[in-house]
Copies of this chain bind each other. A is one copy, B any other.
Amino acid sequence: MRVTIADVAREAAVSKTTVSRVLNTRADVDAGTAARVREVIAALGYVPSSGAVGLARGTSRTVAMLTPPLTWPWMGEVLQGVADTVEAAGYGLLLYTCNRGAESVSHFTGQVSARAFDGLLLVEPENTLDTVTAMHRRGLPVVLIDDRGHHPAFPSVATTNREGGASAARHLLATGRTSPLVITGPRDFGCVRDRLDGFLDQIPGALVTEGEFTETSGRHGVERALAEGRDIDCVFAHNDLIAAGALRALREAGRRVPDDVAVVGFDDLPMARHTEPPLTTVRQPMRRMGETAARLLLARLAGDVLSDAPVVLPTELVVRRSAPAL
């Protein structure tokens, strides 16, 4: 049998109102009464029902997070940043993944309307941006962790993709490289365009080939360039998976890295330390993105008004052996 506030009230010989007051530490309770109530609470092991509290207060002290498949290499970092921040504020975190496509999304939208949570954090809402924008318009607090360069009509957290691309180019130039091959992600991603623009600002003549964010894509990109007899001395890969594929293709073609060809990736996944040679890459602060987005959302729930202008976190070039300093 569940212990309720009524049990505590009876045992302490006060009203439920008074118990509720000491629970919520209101000032206007006699110190003696409060002490007695607290004793009873401890003795009975009473804990308020979060559901009942939520119903009475009209708020759930829970936020939701909608994510792409959790197997994305950097999702763990983002999620951990979110979880830490949300937990520290005493909120619960409800997780939804879009792993099952349309079905997931409709299940999710049902939950939203059910007011199972007070606010929403989301990453990479493929085919979801319209739905979410509508929810936001109807009053649901939303913050996007924008790794795709979406520039949505609500608050978001992003990184300096353009500057990241530029920093890769500057590093390559500074170390004497002049003929890059750029292997991009899909062009319809805003982040891909930004990374490319930043790079081309520094090295306008770069050879560019569009790829996907996979190792296979990196391998094919290099193989094709070599087969066409292109004269390259470095590769800028739009993420670390592409870079890993490029490393492999270069090795198989007998090109030494970094002696013949330097390679720079993007993201700084854990695996970037384990490739041969270890990968120079543009680090994205995924954990801080999660923390920042969560902090924004909690501020919004506490009453702050948020700007729709994205909060932009800096990328950082991490130099390892695949493209060493001079």
Contacts and interface: CB of A to CB of B under 8 A. Distances in A.
B47 A55 contact: no
A159 interface: no
A84 B211 CA distance: 29
Nearest to A67: B83
Given A69-B80, A80-B97, A47 B92 contact: no
Contact of A50 (B99, B107, B116, B270): B116
Contacts of A45: 113
B93 A95 contact: yes
A96 interface: yes
A48 interface: yes
Given A87-B96, A99-B84, A114 B244 contact: no
Nearest to A290: B70
A25 interface: no
A51 interface: yes
Nearest to A109: B47
A114 B48 contact: yes
Interface string A17-52: 000000000000000000000000000010111111
Nearest to A49: B115
A80 B87 contact: no
Given A87-B96, A94-B93, A71 B75 contact: no
A60 interface: yes
A88 B103 CA distance: 9
Given A55-B51, A215-B274, A276-B275, A95 B83 contact: yes
Interface of A: 2, 45, 47-55, 60, 62, 69-73, 75-77, 79-80, 83-84, 87-88, 90, 92-97, 99-100, 104, 107, 110-111, 113-116, 215, 244, 251, 270-271, 273-276
Given A45-B113, A84-B97, A87-B96, 11 more contacts: A51-B115, A55-B55, A62-B94, A70-B80, A71-B76, A80-B99, A84-B100, A92-B116, A94-B95, A271-B271, A271-B274
